[in-house]
Amino acid sequence: MTFNLTLSGSDLLLLLPEMLLTVWLCVVLIVDFAMPRLPKDRLAYLSVGGLAAVLVNLLWFDRAGVTGTLFANMFVVDRLAVFFKLFIVGATILIILVSVDYVRRFRFFKGEYYFLVLMSALGMMFMASANDLLSVFITLEFSTFGFYVLVAYLRDDVASNEAGLKFFILGVFAAGLLAYGISLVYGETGKIVFSDIASASPTPGLVIGYLLIFAALGFKIGAVPFHSWIPDTYHGAPTPVTAYLSIAPKGAAFAILLRMFFVSLATLKPAWVLLLVGASILSMTYGNIVAIAQRNIKRLLAYSGIAQIGNILIGLAAGTKMGGDAILFYLLTYLFANLGAFAIVIAVGNLIHSDEIEDYNGLNRRSPFLAFAMLVFLLSLAGVPPLAGFIGKLYIFLSAINEGLYTLIIVGLINIVISMYYYLVVVKKMYINEPTDPSPLTISTPMKAVVYAGLAGTLILGIYPQPFIDWVVAATLMFSNLAGHTAAAPTILPFGG
Amino acid sequence: MGDYTLLTILFAPFLGAVLLIFVPNRQALQVRLVAAASAGISLLAAFYMFFAYDSAKGGFQFVQRHEWSKELGIAFYLGVDGIGTPLVLASAILLFAGIFISWHIKDRTKEFYIFLLILAAATIGVFMSLDLFFLYFFYEMSVIPMYLLLGIWGSHTKGYLDMTDPEGLRKRDSVSFIFNFAANSKEYAAMKLTLFLSVGAVVALMGILLIYKFSGLHTFDILVLREQAKFSGSLATIIWLLIFFGFASIAPLWPLHSWSPVGHAAAPAATSMLHAGVLMKLGHFSIIRVAFEILPETTRELMPIAAVLCIFNILYGGYVAYYARDTKYVIGYSSSSHMGYVFLGMAALDYISLTGAVLYMFAHALATGMLFAMAGWVYDQTHSRDIPSLGGLVNRMPFVAGCFLVACMASVGMPGTVNFIAEIMILVGSWNKYPFQVIVAVLGIVLTLAYLFRMMRGVFYGPMEEQYSHAHDAVAMVDRLPLLLMIACSITFGIFPGHFYNVIRSGVDPLVARITQVVPIAAQSGSDELRVMSDELYEVAGQQASAVGAPGANRSTLITGDPLLQDCNGCPPSPITGREP
């Protein structure tokens, strides 16, 4: 195999967003070192400016339909990759905005924080484009690298150190699994590009190899039984990092999962449906039931995140183009609702220095806006109309019922009710209980901007989802050859218009 | 107004809620006025819709259809037929009345009105949805405001655990007692209500998803599904049971009712009104709209379930209401008991009985709304809902006592109120199929009389406690207006039910014809001639009914015209008659 490394201008164009971000994160680092007197808030806005440029670039890719592959199919730019890159960049912008107040509390390395966030974003953008097993490994480790540092950022805080250590040890272990799985798959097939291995026959070595890769990615998304790092890491990490960790890597990992299951494993679908059904049922049920017992809002959101991942896995288990659409749409709703909820947690945490649910008592009296926003985000996570989460859940269920996954849907529906309970417990504390300290709470402008963005996203996706549905449907056109095994597919309105 | 009527009714409260977000909380009067104005617009539009509904034409009118998502097969599709129209009207009336009933709420006025408006608008949305997705959308949307309304502005049921009957036994409503380990707080009531209704909702959602998949039509459009979807065998049974029991939990059908009295008791007055008045009807309405329309054959086979369970509804609800000490419990259980009548009317699947059931939903909304409003007034004045400790309040509040009497009369079904007509129609229409249930229902009326007047006597007559001497009457116009509005509607429609009857008939006729016409394979042999004959009779009867315009003439159709229908009902060897209990 020979690599042809002569890159033309149009090839470089495909890398433009990544190159832009690379340059920008160097700029941020240099500015931080060269101008030590500069208030660190400026760095945040500088980073947001660079990300905004990347965002515009990606939007242009999306509108113009730029596609192509690079480096012998290692790196692919298609609608799916662009969707996930937009998702990641959007999440990163919002995360940097919610970090501003929090970072001010750090004693050291305020500037490096933004650099590390941007670096993780860069790694995840490459993840979205990873098209073979080797690039999966490199990009996944690259993006996780930044997170190892970020999770343990509060170096005086024992919980943060513990979180960082747990995350690191388990993350390295998962990396080992991934490397071993990749080597098995490569040994069996002699190929590493997803589309090339599609035709391989399932030998035991290949099956074990894929199971190991799935375990490593399952660790990344935090699906049961690979979830054990989530609660402690989420709890101990600085809250903006927790928020980041709970959204962006999940999206990037799902980009890889979609490519792996829908492209290279499409022919073996009956074999892996059961695996995903199992993981999904376990994640939803475990996450929701354990969340009931939580006293800390970060842990509650950690477990609810595990349950949400279980919901998304339903779409993966459906294994159709519609399942893919549903996953993408669900991730969008999850982005706004979960990030919004974390923004409130950060805002409240900054003001009252506590993440205990008990301390949310009477939030409605102290800050009606924060309480109302939290109400909307939690209800969206629970899947209550007219909010985004409801459409996301319905989309997922519709894709699953077309494939006849009744057990999964029944479990999913029961879990909606369970999750409603613990979300409503938080609502009860905020609205019904009386505050111990009734002094009003006010939040800063960047924080407000994020909360407004979350509210707008949650409401618009819930009330007028059509443009977004069109978008995700266009993003997964590459999967339209995936056929369901039921007769429900040939309908009046064919998928994809 | 034309085509925008339904949008006005639906979105006026929503817009009101959005507007309220921008009104500062300190401007309480402004908040109330905005809420009242949006509810008023909605009410006017609802009245316009009701009177402009062309009952000769029938079918779905004021239709609005906007494509919402092609990929998912969802359209924002609104329209009302003879069944939806009265319920939309009832919701608008109760919302408007509820705004004034809650005029004196001090704590977080703005939030209260926002949630109240969303609750009512969502309810209205269900009654006009012609798309299964939006029906569920609005249905589920109405549940969450209830949680907050109960939790924040509700009241604890004091002494709930000590509630005893005259013999000193523990309280009788043991179903809720089983799940209630601590004191019966409003938080408990709110959570119980929300979870119960959510469970019901997801059960129904499963049914809706199955309809979506197995119709193979890739649409949620009820009208398309009604015409084209065919379900049979065990699949149809499963879907029907999911839909029926999912929606019956909010209705509330007997074994699923335990959330309802607890919720009613904890809720603030306006919420109880809306809740008992219209929210509970979402259950019946959704069963009619989904199960009756899409699965007519299965409905005919399985509806006897409701006929059996409604006996328990009527008797159990009435029995507990008689022994309850809490005013709101009495009214709550009486609602649950009265919902049994609606189920009876629906189960009989007869033109008259189903018309009666729909009319009863409207009538009950007004009657129970008044009762809850007045119980709320008494509670506000005395801070007590304990019947034995109250008494003699007629001296302090003659106006409220008078209204209460009218509401009791309406609830019992006294001639002159719309409840009377509805009750009679249910009883007459069901007699052929379910004589036993009709006897039970008549007993239920006696029970209603007993517990309502027992409460009336306990609260308003007898010696008055000294501590209640500061209680005062509803004097201000804002306090009297909602009561007078509800009484006026109840009596006006009771004396002139003509248009009402025609409107409902125009919706019920095609539905019942669809359900009862279809003869199952087992009974088909030899009955073809009879069936054709009965079809013609149905048509003749339908034309007669819709041709009658004047109110006076209409009353006579009610009595003289109906034997014709009942006769022809007996014509086809109906499978239900063979199997009736």
Return the domain boundaries, chain B. 2-513
Q: Does the structure show a pLDDT above 50 at B378?
A: yes
User: Which residues on A lie below 8 Å from B211 (Cβ)?
Assistant: none
Residue B224 distance to chain A (closest CA, Å): 12
State the pLDDT at residue B189.
80
Averaged pLDDT for residues B206-215: 90
Could you state, in order of their start, the residue ranges of all structural domains in chain A? 288-481
Q: Is A495 on the interface with B (CB under 8 A)?
A: yes
Percentage of chain B beyond pLDDT 70 is: 84
Highest mean pLDDT among A309-313, A383-387, B558-562 belongs to A309-313
| For residue A198, pLDDT beyond 90 | no
Q: How far is B357 from chain A (nearest CA, A)?
A: 30
Cα gap A257→A84, rounded to integer Å: 12
Q: How far apart are CA B64 and CA B80, in angstroms?
A: 10
pLDDT band for A2, please (50, 70, 90 cuts). Answer: low
Residue B367 has pLDDT above 50, yes or no: yes
Q: What is the pLDDT of residues A390-407, one digit of tens each?
A: 999 999 999 998 888 888
Residue with tokens 């306006």: B270
List chain B residues with CB under 8 Å of A417.
195, 198-199, 202
Q: Which residues of B touch A367 (CB under 8 A)?
A: none
**Is pLDDT of A366 > 50?**
yes
Report, as an integer, the average pLDDT of A270-277.
Answer: 86
Which chain B residues in 101-140 lie under 8 Å from chain A, judged by CB atoms?
A: 108, 111, 133, 136-138, 140
Nearest chain B residue to A321, by CA: B71
Mean pLDDT, residues B325-343 taken together: 87
Nearest to B500 by CA among B417, B438, B432, B409: B417
Instruction: Assess B68–A contact: CB distance below 8 Å, yes or no.
Output: yes
Q: Given a cut of 50, is residue B549 above it in pLDDT?
A: no
Between A409, A417, A491, which is nearest B198 by CB?
A417
- The chain B residue lying nearest A379, using CA atoms, is B144
Mean pLDDT check: name the lowest of A243-257, B355-369, B560-574: B560-574
Minimal Cβ distance to A385: which of B141, B186, B190: B141
Strands (E) in A120-274, as ranges, are none
Predicted confidence band of residue B496 (pLDDT cuts 50, 70, 90): confident
pLDDT digits (tens, 9 = 90+) for A150-197: 998 888 888 888 999 999 999 999 999 999 999 998 888 888 888 888
d(CA B251, CA A385): 21
User: What is the chain B residue with the closest CA to A398?
Assistant: B209
Place of tokens 């380990």: B181
User: Is pLDDT above 50 for A283?
Assistant: yes
CB-based contact (8 Å) between A31 and chain B?
A: no
Question: B193: which chain A residues are within 8 Å (Cβ-Cβ)?
Answer: none
How far is the alpha carbon of B281 from chain A, nearest alpha carbon, in Å?
20
User: Rounded CA gap, A427 and A423, in Å?
Assistant: 6
Q: Is B76 on the interface with A (CB under 8 A)?
A: no
B72 touches chain A (CB under 8 A): yes
Question: With 90 as the cut, is the pLDDT of residue A124 above it?
Answer: yes
Whether A469 sits inside 8 A of B71 (CB atoms) is yes
Distance between CA B481 and CA B412 in Å, rounded? 23
Residues of B in contact with A427 (CB under 8 A): 147-148
pLDDT value at residue A253: 92
pLDDT at residue A3, rounded to an integer: 57
Total residue length of chain B: 581
B152 and chain A: CB distance < 8 Å anywhere? yes
| Between B413 and A84, residue with greater pLDDT | A84
The pLDDT-based confidence of B505 (bands split at 50, 70, 90) is confident
Model confidence band, residue A303 (pLDDT cutoffs 50, 70, 90) = very high
Residues of B in contact with A492 (CB under 8 A): 217-219
Q: B265-309: per-residue pLDDT in tens?
A: 888 888 888 888 888 899 999 999 998 888 888 888 888 888 888
Residues in chain A: 497
Q: How buried is A469 (Cβ within 10 angstroms: 0-12 exposed, 13-18 middle, 19+ buried)?
A: buried
The lowest-confidence range among A156-170, A470-484, B112-126 is A470-484
Mutate to test the interface with B, among A413, A433, A470 (most CBs of B within 10 A): A413
Secondary element (H or E) of residue B78 = strand B74-80
Give the phi and the psi of residue A348 in degrees, each rounded to 5: -65, -40
Q: What was the pLDDT predicted at A365? A: 87
Banded pLDDT at B158 (limits 50, 70, 90): low
Cβ-defined contact of A413 to B212 (cutoff 8 Å): no
B577 pLDDT band (50/70/90 cuts)?
very low
Sort out which chain B residues have CB atoms less than 8 A from A379's CB and list them.
144
Q: Which residues of B touch A470 (CB under 8 A)?
A: 71
CB contact under 8 A, A420 and B194: yes
- Chain A contact present for B216, CB below 8 A: yes
A427 has a chain B CB within 8 A of its CB: yes
Say what the pLDDT of residue B287 is.
Answer: 92
CB atoms within 10 A of CB A184: 21
Confirm or reject contact between B194 and chain A (CB < 8 A).
yes
Under the banding of pLDDT at 50, 70 and 90, the label for residue B165 is very low
Q: What is the mean pLDDT of chain B?
A: 80
- Contacts of A271-279 spanning 24+ positions with Cβ under 8 A: A271/A202, A271/A207, A272/A210, A272/A319, A273/A317, A273/A319, A273/A405, A275/A211, A275/A214, A276/A313, A276/A316, A276/A317, A277/A317, A277/A405, A277/A407, A277/A408, A279/A218, A279/A223, A279/A224, A279/A225, A279/A310, A279/A313
Check CB contact of B207 with chain A, cutoff 8 Å. no
Q: How far apart are CA A285 and CA A313, in angstroms?
A: 13
**Identity of the residue numbered A430:** M
Chain B residues whose beta carbon lies within 8 Å of the beta carbon of residue A460: none
Give the single-character DSSP code of B554: H
Do A432 and B152 count as a contact with CB atoms less than 8 A apart?
A: yes
Q: Summarize the confidence of residues B76-102 as an average pLDDT.
A: 90
CB–CB contact B72 A394 (8 Å): yes
> By CB neighbour count within 10 A (0-12 exposed, 13-18 middle, 19+ buried), where does B234 fall?
exposed
Average confidence score pLDDT of chain A: 87
Residue B521 confidence (pLDDT) above 80: no
Whether B56 shows a pLDDT value over 90: the answer reads no
- A401: nearest CA partner in chain B: B213
The answer, for A428 touching chain B at a CB cutoff of 8 Å, is yes
Interface of A with B in 394-423 (CB under 8 A): 394-395, 397-398, 401-402, 404, 409-410, 413-414, 416-417, 420-421
B184: confidence class by pLDDT, cuts 50, 70, 90: low
Pick B205's closest partner by Cβ from A413, A424, A473.
Answer: A413
Average pLDDT of B77-91? 90
Residue B230's pLDDT is 83
Look at residue B546 and tell me whether its pLDDT is greater than 50: no
pLDDT at B547 over 80: no
Task: Give which of A329, A428, A460 to mutate to test B binding, by max B Cβ within 10 Å.
Answer: A428
CB contact under 8 A, B25 and A364: no
Question: A424–B194: do the CB atoms touch at under 8 Å?
Answer: yes
Distance of residue A264 Cα from the nearest chain B Cα, in angstroms: 26
- Where is average pLDDT lowest: A36-45, A113-122, A305-314, A455-464? A36-45
Measured between CB atoms, does B195 come within 8 Å of chain A? yes
User: A414 — phi, psi (to 5°)?
Assistant: -60, -40
A86 pLDDT band (50/70/90 cuts)? Answer: very high
Among B137, B144, B206, whose Cβ lies nearest the Cβ of A379? B144
Tell me, yes or no, if B217 comes closer than 8 A to chain A by beta carbon.
Answer: yes
| pLDDT attached to residue A101 | 87
Sequence-ordered list of residues with C-beta below 8 angstroms from that of A446, at least 6 positions apart, any chain: A44, A97, A98, A100, A101
- Closest chain A residue by Cα to residue B193: A421
Interface residue B18 vs chain A (CB under 8 A): no
User: Would the CB atoms of A487 and B216 count as touching at under 8 Å?
Assistant: yes
Q: Does residue A306 have a pLDDT over 90? A: yes
Pairs of CB atoms within 8 A across A/B: 96
B465 or B559, which is more confident?
B465
Residues in chain A within 8 Å Cβ distance of B216: 487-488, 491
Q: Which residue in B has a C-alpha nearest to residue A463's C-alpha?
A: B68
**B70 vs A contacts (CB less than 8 Å):** 466, 493, 497
**How far does the CA of residue A427 sit from the closest CA of chain B (Å)?**
8
